[in-house]
Amino acid sequence: MLEPLVDSLIEDPRWEEIDLPALAEHAARAVLADRGLVPEDFEISLLGCDDARIAVLNADFRGKASPTNVLSWPSDERAAEDDGGEPDLPEPFAPGIPEALGDIAIAYETCVREAGDQGKALHDHVLHLLVHGTLHLLGFDHIREGDAALMEEIEVRVLDRMGILNPYGE
C-alpha cells in the first residue's frame, strides 16, 4: 500500500459525498507524475471546508473578504522568472522523508455553485480545481499571459488523462 501523498482534514462533511480525500490524492499524483516527480517523495495538506471558512482564509491571506473555490499556499517560492518558463521543481528532502509542497483549501458551496453554473459534474470540477491547486504548489501561476498558457496546457493534459474534458471549453 502506498503512503498517502495528501493529508486531508475535512471540516465540512458534505465533502464525504464525493470522497474529497480520494479525489485530492488522484489529482496530486497525476500532476506530480506529469512533472516527472515521484509522489512518495512529497506531501500536501488539504482542507475541505465551507464558504465561510474559505472567506476568512481569503481575507487573511489575500485581502479579499469573500469566498473563493480553492486557495493554495506553496511551501517554497518556485515560480519561473521568465513569463511562460518552467518553475523550479522541488527536490525530495531525504530518502523516506517526504518534502512538504504546501497546503490547499477548497470550499464546498462555491464548487457546487460553479459546477452547476458551468454544467459540469461536481466530481470533474473538483478534480480540475485540485489539479490547479497542486500546480500552484509547484510554482505554476496564471497572472502573466505566458504562465497562464503553460498552466492551462498542463491542466488540460492531466485532466484528459483522467478522462475529463477540457475545462476551458476549447
Binding residues for Zn(2+) are: 132, 136, 142
Q: Which residues are annotated as a binding site?
A: 132, 136, 142
Round to whole Å and give the CA distance between 14 and 17.
Answer: 6
Q: Are the C-beta atoms of 102 and 139 separated by less than 8 Å?
A: no
Cα separation of 34 and 52, whole Å?
Answer: 33
Distances (CA, A) of 134 to 28, 65, 116: 6, 23, 23
